[in-house]
Amino acid sequence: MERKLDSWYSPALNKQMDIVTYGNYGFALLLVPTAAADYLEYERFLMIDVLADQINAGKVKVFSINSINAESWLNTEMHPPHKGIRHNQFNAYVENEVVPYIKASTSPETPIITCGASLGALHSANLYFRRPDIIDGVIAMSGIYDLTTYTDGFFDDQVYYNSPMHYLKNLDDDVILPRLQNADHIHILAGQGDYENPDASRTLSALLDHKGIPNELDIWGHDMKHDWPTWREMLPYYVDTRF
C-alpha cells in the first residue's frame, strides 16, 4: 500500500505536527491515538496490517495524527484550566488544518470518519459531536465519554464543552442537533473483558437515544480486553461491514 509521511507547523498548536496516510482511495478514516502516543501508534500495534485488505481495495484511506494529551489532560504538572485551553487548540488543529488536509488529499465530497480507542475514543467522538458539519461519523472503541474521568475532579467550561456526556444532555440548537439526528455512522463499541467499561458505552448510547440521535451500540464478549487485540478485531469488521 502507499504510505505517505507529512508534517507542518501548526498555527493552532504552535508546534510541528506529523501525519501519516495509508492508501489512495475510499472514505477517510481519521485515527486519534489512545493516550499520549504519536501518529505511528496504530501502525506499531499492527492496526494498519489488519486493515491492509480494505486499504488496498480502495475502500478506506487512513490518516493518523499525533496526540497532545501529554500537554493537556495527562499532564499532572499542568494547571487544570490550561489543560482545557490546550485541548481546544488541538480541536482547532483538527478542524482547521487536518480536515482541510484530508479534503485536499481526497475530495471535498469524501466522508471523514473519526476513530479512536480508549482516550482516543473520547476525543474522536468529541471531534464528531462538536462538528458534524465537517466530520461525518465516528467509530469509538472502548471509551469513557465523561471527561471528568481524566480531570481529577476539576470542572470548568473547557471541560464541559469537551465532555460529550455533559454537553450532549443540553444540546438543543437548530444546527448541530439536526445534523446529529440524521447521522448514519455513530458506532459505539466496547468489550466486556479485563479493564473494559462497557457501561460507559451503554450510557453514551442511551443519552444519544434520548436526544433522538441514531447510533449503533455493540458490546462484544467477555474475552475482549481493553487492549490492541480487541481493537484489531473490531475496526476491520466495522470498516468491512458498515461502509
Mean pLDDT computed over 131-136: 98
Q: What is the pLDDT of residues 97-117, one digit of tens each?
A: 999 999 999 999 999 999 999
Q: How confident is the model at residue 36 (pLDDT cuts 50, 70, 90)?
A: confident
C-alpha cell at 242: 458498515
**Gap between the Cα atoms of 124 and 49, Å rounded:** 21
pLDDT tens digits for range 143-169: 999 999 999 989 999 999 999 999 999
Strand, coil or helix: 238: helix
Beta bridge partners of 19: 6, 65
* E strand segments, 80-152: 112-117, 137-141
What's CA 103's distance to the chain center, in Å? 17
Domain of residue 161, CATH code = 3.40.50.1820
SS3 (DSSP) at 233: helix
Q: Of 86, 207, 225, nearest to 151 (Cα)?
A: 86
The amino acid at 87: H
β-pair partners for 140? 116, 188
Range of the domain at 24: 3-242
C-beta neighbour count of 199 within 10 angstroms: 12
- Residues 218-226, mean pLDDT to the nearest whole number: 98
Q: Is the pLDDT of residue 189 over 90?
A: yes
Question: Do the bridges between strand 15-22 and strand 60-65 make them parallel or antiparallel, or are there none, so unpaired?
Answer: antiparallel
pLDDT band at 187 (very low <50, low <70, confident <90, very high): very high
Cell numbers placing 232:
484489531
**Cα(122)–Cα(165) distance, integer angstroms:** 10
Q: How far apart are CA 114 and CA 202, in angstroms?
A: 19
Total count of domains within the chain: 1
